[in-house]
């Protein structure tokens, strides 16, 4: 996931207008669309919270297309949400059961998109193998944090650091079992 240097994936109202500020400042797209596409190619299944889902729908409505292609996408929600495509499934049950009982046996590479509670819950339950985190060179002061609360500290193992010309830095960590 991409976040501001101060750790936010969106403003409090869910907007990501600051990505445009950052693009303008960089004189181009801070997130290289080709790199993003290449990364998404490696993903077999998406898991996300309802806010991320709604943000993706809003992007699509603006003409940017549906970001997750034809890949199976599980949206974690207890709310009644509009289902606009067959690849999307709404799920409100146990997270560990979803991963260990169903997804892991079917999909090699599962990406938990978004942040906050969903990411923390995956870390807390030991469901995450890897944390990929791209830092966009901007401070926005407040918003929806990528990382949420944890019951215990999680020490990570740095695997890779990739700085881009646009000023984005991609960090990749392994989560020890």
Residues at the site binding a second copy, with contacts judged by CB under 8 A:
5-7, 18, 21-22, 25, 120, 123, 131, 133, 135, 137-142, 145-158, 161, 163, 167-169, 171, 173, 176
Least spacing, CB of residue 132 vs a second copy, in Å: 12
Least spacing, CB of residue 140 vs a second copy, in Å: 5
Place of tokens 């890897």: 130
Return the number of the residue (58 or 150) whose C-beta is nearest a second copy: 150
DSSP 100-136: IIIIHHH-S-EEEES-BHHHHHHHHTT--SEEEEEEE
Burial class (CB in 10 A: 0-12, 13-18, 19+), 160: exposed
Return the number of the residue (71 or 132) whose C-beta is nearest a second copy: 132
- The SS3 call for residue 52 is helix
Return the number of the residue (7 or 14) whose C-beta is nearest a second copy: 7
Least spacing, CB of residue 77 vs a second copy, in Å: 23
The CA distances from residue 138 to 130, 142, 159, in Å, are 24, 12, 24
Return the number of the residue (83 or 149) whose C-beta is nearest a second copy: 149
The CA distances from residue 86 to 78, 82, 154, in Å, are 19, 11, 36
Q: Maximum CA pair distance of the chain?
A: 46
Return the number of the residue (81 or 125) whose C-beta is nearest a second copy: 125
Least spacing, CB of residue 81 vs a second copy, in Å: 28
Least spacing, CB of residue 123 vs a second copy, in Å: 7
- The SS3 call for residue 79 is coil
Alpha-carbon distance of 80 to 22, in angstroms, equals 34
């Amino acid at each position: 996931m991409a976040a501001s240097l101060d750790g936010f994936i969106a403003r409090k109202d869910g907007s990501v207008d600051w990505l445009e500020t950052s693009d303008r400042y960089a004189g181009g797209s801070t997130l290289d669309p080709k790199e993003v596409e290449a990364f998404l190619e490696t993903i077999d299944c998406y898991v996300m919270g309802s806010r991320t889902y709604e943000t993706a729908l809003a992007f699509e409505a603006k003409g940017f297309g549906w970001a997750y292609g034809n890949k199976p996408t599980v949206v974690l929600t207890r709310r009644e949400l509009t289902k606009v495509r067959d690849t999307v499934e709404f799920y409100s049950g146990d997270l560990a059961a979803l991963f260990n009982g169903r997804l892991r046996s079917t999909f090699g590479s599962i990406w938990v998109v978004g942040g906050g509670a969903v990411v923390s819950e995956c870390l807390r339950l030991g469901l995450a193998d890897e944390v990929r985190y791209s830092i966009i060179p901007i401070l926005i002061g407040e918003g929806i944090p990528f990382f949420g609360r944890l019951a215990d500290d999680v020490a990570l193992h740095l695997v890779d650091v990739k700085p881009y010309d646009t000023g984005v830095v991609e960090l990749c960590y392994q989560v020890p079992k």
